[in-house]
Chains A and B, each alone.
Chain A
Amino acid sequence: MRVALAEDGALFREGLLMLLKAAGHEIVGAVPGGDELYALLTTTPADVAILDIRMPPEPDGGLSTAERLRAVHPNLGLLFLSHYAESHYLMRILQIGTESIGYRLKEKVGSIEVLTDTLTRIEAGEIVIEPVLAKRLVDRPRSEKKDAVSALSERELDVLRLMAEGRSNNGIAGQLYVTSKAVEKHIANIFGKLGLQTDASEYHRRVLAVLTYLRSQRGAA
């Protein structure tokens, strides 16, 4: 996979480069800021760009650069890395796009297996969301959503957490060691209990529905 990297912390950038090389990816460039990444990608194609959220141009150059990149390279996958997993940034990222996009904590991509899984899913068009953040959204929903979420069974909560991470039915089935059919049934139950539309057949729309539900204020779901 061809990967471009923009990160202003030299130490972290070097560490990530080593990990990407060890995973067998082709590094098309590693730069310290958003403007440099944008310039690089005008001449050099890549499959996925990895961007630090908090880098030049300040204050959140990763996001502003990604908006520009998505406009001119709509098929380029975008992986945001951050020191913070904030639902505010998640919502901003989902405004940039709901396909081929991901948001992960910096220290959580620290293995070849996790990094490659994250990049592969993004290249395949999926949304990848930091499990720490997905878990927090499900475990601590906004107060007016608590009743609805507390009506879910333990297994349904497990499925909801994995849905909020952006996992497909097969991905959820693989994580929970159950069949895809069983996952479909759980998802139908979850959508019924939360009062969400079940016709969102595209998984990224489904992820979006779940995240919006968990994050939205009263009456906005």
Chain B
Amino acid sequence: MANARFAVLAEPGTHLVVSARTGHPRYARGLTPPCAGGDPIPAGLPNRHHAVMSLRPPQNHDANPTDSVGRCRGADQWLRRRRLERQLHDGAALRLSALSLRLGLLGDQSAVGAENFQRQISELQDELHAVLQELRQIADKIYPPLLNQAGIGPALRELAAEAGIELAVTDGADRFDPAAEGAAYFMVADCLAAEPVEPPAPIRVTVYRDGRLLVLSLGGLPTCHAELAQYHVGPLGGSVTTAVEPAELTNTPPTNKITVRIPCE
């Protein structure tokens, strides 16, 4: 927080908890204000919507060897995740799918009239489908396969569609390294999961490349999520800033905006 210009501002009565969905920390309504102890809000700022904050300003990421080791560890974590997901897909999931085919064949080879046997085969196949669905959910929490194959935009659209959240994603064809994409994806996922109610306006996500940086801005969520964003992008040497888009720029009420910049290939 040494570099923060202003305090990280959280909704009153929220605290940091671990997300059951993604396994990452997030804010929730509760006992402990999460952002207490930050710098005081400067005089003249009527409310948090006018705060402009930098949790960690952009740095020369290769200057410090210790930082470099930390970023390597952070990147390794995401590569390991991607390998684990692939292992699930190519291993257990494929074997279970093949088992379902073998069961279907067995059901067909049973004596004509053995309806009870065929029904049991069908029930076993349904059970296999349920197990595979559970494996898919686990794989999504490790490293979503769609994120690996199609990138952050399609993966976030799928996430929003699954959760019934209105999310407007603007992205190009740019792809980034697995660590940057993983950190950015799970940051948005956790911020969305931390929202107790659906916001009145769609949440807007913009993703683009700025040299060797993945830049993602998240508009329409409280800026208290900045600390959560820092949790995700910090280990990769990323930075987080928050701002408010004035009404005259957006033709809507003033909108909070969290922007993360993550070093990437």
Q: Are A and B bound to each other?
A: yes
Q: Which of the residues B103, B132, B154 comes within 8 Å of A83, measured between beta carbons?
A: B132
- B84 CB within 8 Å of chain A: no
- Decide: A144 and B94 in contact? CB cutoff 8 A: no
What's the Cα separation between A11 and B98 when bound, in Å?
A: 6
- B119 CB within 8 Å of chain A: no
- A54 CB within 8 Å of chain B: yes
- B104 CB within 8 Å of chain A: yes
- Decide: A88 and B150 in contact? CB cutoff 8 A: yes
- Report if A19-B105 is in contact (Cβ < 8 Å); known contacts: A9-B94, A107-B125, A110-B100: yes
- Decide: A15 and B101 in contact? CB cutoff 8 A: yes
- A135 CB within 8 Å of chain B: no
Write out the residue numbers on chain B whose beta carbons fall within 8 Å of the beta carbon of A218.
166, 202
Write out the residue numbers on chain A whose beta carbons fall within 8 Å of the beta carbon of B164.
140-143, 146
Q: Which of the residues B108, B109, B166 comes within 8 Å of A144, measured between beta carbons?
A: B166
| A136 CB, min distance to chain B CBs, angstroms | 8
Provide the A112-155 mask, 1 if CB < 8 A to any CB of B, else 0: 10110000000000000000000010001111101000000000
- Decide: A143 and B149 in contact? CB cutoff 8 A: no
Which residues 14-62 of A have a CB within 8 angstroms of B?
Answer: 14-16, 18-19, 22, 54, 59-60
- Decide: B101 and A86 in contact? CB cutoff 8 A: no
- Decide: A83 and B161 in contact? CB cutoff 8 A: no
- Decide: B104 and A12 in contact? CB cutoff 8 A: no
- Decide: B101 and A12 in contact? CB cutoff 8 A: yes
What's the Cα separation between A115 and B105 when bound, in Å?
A: 11
What's the Cα separation between A50 and B177 when bound, in Å?
A: 31
- A108 CB within 8 Å of chain B: yes
- Decide: A106 and B146 in contact? CB cutoff 8 A: no
Which residues 154-178 of B have a CB within 8 angstroms of A?
Answer: 154, 157-158, 161-162, 164-166, 168
- Report if A215-B161 is in contact (Cβ < 8 Å); known contacts: A12-B97, A16-B101: yes
Closest B residue to A214 using CB positions: B161
- Report if A86-B158 is in contact (Cβ < 8 Å); known contacts: A110-B103, A144-B166: yes
- B198 CB within 8 Å of chain A: yes
- Decide: A88 and B105 in contact? CB cutoff 8 A: no
What's the Cα separation between A220 and B186 when bound, in Å?
A: 27
- Decide: B168 and A110 in contact? CB cutoff 8 A: no
- Report if A112-B104 is in contact (Cβ < 8 Å); known contacts: A54-B89, A107-B128, A140-B164: yes
Q: Which of A16, A106, A111, A146 has the largest number of chain B CB atoms within 10 A?
A: A111
Closest A residue to B198 using CB positions: A143
Write out the residue numbers on chain A whose beta carbons fall within 8 Å of the beta carbon of B157.
88
- Decide: B105 and A22 in contact? CB cutoff 8 A: yes
- B5 CB within 8 Å of chain A: no
| B257 CB, min distance to chain A CBs, angstroms | 20
- A217 CB within 8 Å of chain B: yes
- Decide: A106 and B97 in contact? CB cutoff 8 A: yes
- B83 CB within 8 Å of chain A: no
Closest A residue to B133 using CB positions: A132
Which residues 163-195 of A have a CB within 8 angstroms of B?
Answer: none
Q: Which of B125, B129, B161, B202 has the largest number of chain A CB atoms within 10 A?
A: B161
- A87 CB within 8 Å of chain B: yes
| A86 CB, min distance to chain B CBs, angstroms | 6
- B136 CB within 8 Å of chain A: yes
9 contacts between A and B (CB under 8 A): A15-B105, A83-B93, A107-B129, A109-B101, A111-B108, A111-B125, A142-B161, A143-B164, A218-B166
Partner-A contacts on B (CB < 8 A): 89-90, 93-105, 107-109, 122, 125, 128-129, 132, 136, 145-146, 148-150, 154, 157-158, 161-162, 164-166, 168, 198, 202
Partner-B contacts on A (CB < 8 A): 9, 11-12, 14-16, 18-19, 22, 54, 59-60, 83-84, 86-88, 105-112, 114-115, 136, 140-144, 146, 215, 217-218
Sample of 14 more A-B contacts, CB < 8 Å, known A54-B89, A88-B154, A105-B129: A9-B94, A11-B98, A15-B105, A22-B109, A54-B149, A83-B93, A83-B94, A86-B158, A109-B101, A110-B100, A110-B101, A111-B108, A111-B122, A111-B125
